[in-house]
C-alpha cells in the first residue's frame, strides 16, 4: 500500500506567520538568582503577552533554596511586576503561571535531579510538551558539569534538548575548553546555546543591517577610509553586591572576553553569505582569529577609588562589601587592538570598558580619516573634525553621523553637527529586551545570535595572553576616581598615537 503525502499548504502563502516554537518545557537552573527575576521571567512574560511562546509550554525553576510551587509563582509574579517592560495583566500571568513548577536541587547531588526528572515527566503529560526541553543554566560554570552529566544520563529518546549557557563560560582558555569538551561528550554543538546577551540587542543586530543593507557604508568600511574605531562599554554602577563573582572575574572576564570582543567582531567582520548561524559565526571567528595579542603597552587596567557618580558620593572598589582590602582586581580595561587582515591592517580598534565610569554608555564610534585638504582659509584644523559614525548600543539606541557644516553668516566657519537617527524616533514599537529575543531563538533552534565553542576559545586565548603579563607587572590601585572616564594611562594610550577618546 502506498501513502500519499499532503501537497504543500497553499493557504500559508503570503501569511506573515509569527515564529512560534514547538511545545517545550523550560528548566531554569539558578531560579532563585537575580538573572531569573530581573531578566528571564520578565522576558518570558513579554513573550507570553505577545503570544510568542509555544501553545503548550511550562517552566520549571530549580535552585538550592527550599520553595514551594506557589511561593515560586508568587515571587516570579512580583518580579514581573517590578521588572517587565509591559503592563501587568492578570490573565496573561495566570496562563503562564499555570505551567510553572519549582524543584529544590542541590547541584552537587543527583537526588534532586531525580525529582526534577519526575516533575518534568508529569508536566510533559499535563502540558503536552512532547519531551522537548530547554535547559537554561543561570549558574556559575563550576555547577554546569554535574548538571550536564545528569541531564545526559536522563535524556530520553523523545523530543529535542537545548542547553542555554550563561556567561561566564569558563574563567580561562583551559576551563572553557574543559567545559566545551564536557558539553560535547553528550550534546552536539547545535544543541548548545552560549548566551551573550549583547548579541540579542536590537542595536547590535542593527549594526549588521547598517553595514550589509546599505550600499553607502560597506565601500568605505575599511582601512582606506577609517582612521580608527573606538568602542566604549561603560557602566556608572559599581559591582552591586556581586563581589564574590567580580573579584574572580574583573572587567576583563566580565566584559572584555565576551561583550566587547563580540562588538569588535561584528564591527570588523566580512559580509556573511547568508544570515544563518554558521555563516555569521564563521565570519566572526575569522575576526577573532586575526586579532593580535596586544602588548603590555597597549593595555591599560584600572580600579576605581572613591568618587562621585551623578552627584552622589560612592565608595572605592576596595571598600565595597566582600572585596579584599588590597584587591588587585581591575574594574577598568582599555586596549588598542588590531585586526590583522586585508580590510583592517594598521587600523586600531581602541576599546575601553569599566565600572563606576562617568555614565552608562555603550557605543561604537567609527572615526573616518580627515578631509585631505581643507580649502577654507582662516579655519583652524581643529575646527574641521573628522567624520564619525556613532552607533549607540545603549542607552538612546540609534546612529549619529558627525559632519562638518557651515555656520550661517559671513565667512566660512565650520562646525560639527550631528545627523541623528534615534531608534525610538523612527520605530516606536518598543525595543524587545535582548533576553526575549534570545530565549525565543533558543526555543526555535536558531543559534545565529549565540556564541560557538571555537569563538569562545579564541576569545579566551586573547584574554589569557593579556592576563599573563599582568601577573608580572606591578601597578598601583586604585588609579581612577569613581565617576570619571578611567585612569590617565587610558588617555595616554591614545595620545601616544595623536588621537583622543571621543569627548562626551
Partner 1 sequence: MAQSLIETTWMGEDVSIAQIERELARLRAESSEEGAQPNLRTSVMTHIAWAPPEWQGAAEETLAGMAERHPSRTLLLVPRPDEPDGVDAEVSMRCYPVGDRAICGEVIQLTLRGNRSRAPASIVLPLLISDLPVFVRWRGRPVWESPEFVQLIGVVDRLIVDSTEWPDLPGSYQELAELFSKVVVSDIAWERTERWRSLLASLWPGIRDVRAIRVHGTAAQAYLLAGWLRSRLGQPVTLELDERERLEGIELDGQPASFPPGAPPNASDVLSAQLDRFSRDRIYEEAVRATS
Instruction: Select 18 or 472, whichever has its Cβ closest to partner 1.
Output: 18
Note whether 11 binds partner 1 by CB under 8 A: yes
Cα 197-203-205 angle, rounded to 5 deg: 75
Residues 114-153 that bind partner 1 (CB under 8 A): none
Which residue stretches of 399-471 are H helix?
A: 423-426, 434-444, 453-470
Q: Given candidates 394, 396, 416, 448, which one binds partner 1 under the rule CB under 8 A?
A: 396
Residues 410-429 that bind partner 1 (CB under 8 A): 420, 422, 424-429
Note whether 13 binds partner 1 by CB under 8 A: yes
Instruction: Select 14 or 311, whichever has its Cβ closest to partner 1.
Output: 14
Q: Given candidates 2, 3, 17, 274, which one binds partner 1 under the rule CB under 8 A?
A: 17
Question: Residue 92 — φ and ψ, nearest 5°?
Answer: -70, -45
CA–CA separation, 73 and 78 (whole Å): 9
CA–CA separation, 304 and 301 (whole Å): 10
Instruction: Select 379 or 396, whichever has its Cβ closest to partner 1.
Output: 396
Note whether 14 binds partner 1 by CB under 8 A: yes
Question: For residues 354 and 326, is the Cβ–Cβ distance under 8 A?
Answer: no
Cα dihedral sign for 423, 425, 429, 433? positive
Instruction: Select 428 or 472, whichever has its Cβ closest to partner 1.
Output: 428
Is 298 catalytic? The answer is: no
Cα 167-170-174 angle, rounded to 5 deg: 155
Shortest Å, Cβ 408 to partner 1: 13
From edge to edge, which strands make up the β-sheet containing 361-368? 299-302, 332-338, 348-354, 226-234, 361-368, 388-394, 398-406, 414-422
Shortest Å, Cβ 18 to partner 1: 9
**How many residues at the interface with partner 1, by CB under 8 A?**
23
Instruction: Select 12 or 377, whichever has its Cβ closest to partner 1.
Output: 12
Residue 421, beta-bridge partner list: 399
CA–CA separation, 485 and 482 (whole Å): 8
- Contact segment (CB under 8 A) with partner 1 among 2-10, 69-77, 334-342, 377-385 equals 2-10
CA–CA separation, 136 and 193 (whole Å): 9
Note whether 408 binds partner 1 by CB under 8 A: no
Cα 480-460-37 angle, rounded to 5 deg: 75
Site string for partner 1, 41-80 (x = CB under 8 A): ----------x-----------------------------
- Contact segment (CB under 8 A) with partner 1 among 9-17, 248-256, 274-282, 487-495 equals 9-17
Beta strands in 112-271 (DSSP E): 133-137, 161-165, 192-194, 226-234
Shortest Å, Cβ 86 to partner 1: 9
Candidate list 228, 259, 298, 392, residue with the active-site label: 259
Please name the residues in contact with 219: beta carbons below 8 A apart, sequence gap of 6 or more.
Answer: none
Catalytic sites, residue numbers: 259
Q: Which residues bind partner 1 (CB under 8 A)?
A: 6-7, 9-17, 51, 395-396, 420, 422, 424-430
Amino acid at each position: 500500500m502506498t501513502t500519499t503525502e499532503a501537497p504543500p499548504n497553499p493557504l500559508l502563502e503570503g501569511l506573515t506567520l509569527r515564529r512560534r516554537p514547538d511545545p517545550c518545557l523550560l528548566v531554569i537552573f539558578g531560579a532563585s538568582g537575580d538573572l531569573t527575576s530581573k531578566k528571564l521571567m520578565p522576558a518570558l512574560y513579554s513573550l507570553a503577552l505577545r503570544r510568542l511562546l509555544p501553545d503548550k509550554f511550562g517552566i520549571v525553576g530549580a535552585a538550592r533554596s527550599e520553595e514551594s510551587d506557589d511561593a515560586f509563582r508568587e515571587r516570579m509574579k512580583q518580579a514581573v511586576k517590578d521588572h517587565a517592560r509591559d503592563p501587568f495583566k492578570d490573565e496573561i500571568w495566570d496562563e503562564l503561571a499555570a505551567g510553572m513548577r519549582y524543584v529544590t536541587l542541590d547541584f552537587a547531588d543527583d537526588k534532586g535531579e531525580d525529582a526534577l526528572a519526575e516533575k518534568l515527566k508529569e508536566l510533559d503529560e499535563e502540558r503536552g510538551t512532547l519531551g522537548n526541553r530547554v535547559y537554561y543554566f543561570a549558574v556559575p560554570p563550576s555547577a554546569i558539569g554535574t548538571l550536564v552529566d545528569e541531564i545526559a544520563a536522563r535524556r530520553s529518546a523523545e523530543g529535542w534538548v537545548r542547553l542555554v549557557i550563561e556567561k561566564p563560560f569558563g574563567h580561562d582558555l583551559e576551563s572553557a575548553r574543559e567545559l566545551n569538551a564536557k558539553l560535547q561528550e553528550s550534546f552536539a554543538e547545535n544543541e548548545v546555546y552560549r548566551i551573550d546577551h549583547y548579541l540579542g540587542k536590537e542595536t547590535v543586530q542593527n549594526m549588521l543591517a547598517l553595514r550589509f543593507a546599505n550600499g553607502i557604508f560597506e565601500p568605505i568600511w575599511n582601512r582606506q577610509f577609517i582612521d580608527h574605531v573606538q568602542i566604549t562599554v561603560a557602566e556608572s554602577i559599581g559591582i552591586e553586591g556581586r563581589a564574590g563573582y567580580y573579584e574572580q572575574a574583573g572587567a576583563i572576564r566580565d566584559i572584555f572576553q565576551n561583550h566587547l570582543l563580540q562588538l569588535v567582531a561584528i564591527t570588523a567582520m566580512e559580509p556573511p553569505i547568508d544570515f544563518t548561524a554558521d555563516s555569521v559565526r564563521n565570519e566572526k571567528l575569522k575576526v577573532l582569529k586575526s586579532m593580535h595579542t596586544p602588548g603590555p603597552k597597549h593595555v591599560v587596567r584600572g580600579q576605581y577609588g572613591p568618587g562621585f557618580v551623578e552627584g552622589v558620593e560612592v565608595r572605592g572598589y576596595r571598600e565595597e562589601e566582600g572585596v579584599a582590602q588590597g584587591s588587585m582586581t581591575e574594574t577598568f580595561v582599555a586596549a588598542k587592538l588590531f585586526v590583522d587582515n586585508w580590510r583592517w591592517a594598521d587600523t586600531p580598534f581602541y576599546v575601553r570598558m569599566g565600572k563606576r565610569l562617568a555614565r552608562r554608555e555603550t557605543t561604537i564610534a567609527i572615526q573616518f580619516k580627515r578631509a585631505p585638504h581643507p580649502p577654507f582659509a582662516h579655519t583652524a584644523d581643529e575646527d574641521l573634525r573628522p567624520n564619525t559614525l556613532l552607533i549607540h548600543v545603549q542607552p538612546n539606541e540609534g546612529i549619529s553621523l558627525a559632519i562638518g557644516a557651515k555656520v550661517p553668516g559671513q565667512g566660512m566657519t565650520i562646525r560639527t553637527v550631528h545627523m541623528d537617527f534615534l531608534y525610538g524616533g523612527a520605530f516606536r514599537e518598543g525595543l524587545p529586551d535582548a533576553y526575549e529575543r534570545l530565549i525565543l531563538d533558543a526555543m526555535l533552534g536558531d543559534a545565529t545570535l549565540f556564541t560557538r565553542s571555537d569563538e569562545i576559545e579564541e576569545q579566551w586565548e586573547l584574554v589569557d595572553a593579556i592576563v599573563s603579563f599582568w601577573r608580572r607587572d606591578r601597578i598601583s590601585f586604585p588609579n581612577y576616581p569613581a565617576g570619571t572616564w578611567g585612569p590617565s594611562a587610558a588617555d595616554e594610550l591614545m595620545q601616544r598615537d595623536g588621537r583622543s577618546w571621543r569627548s562626551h
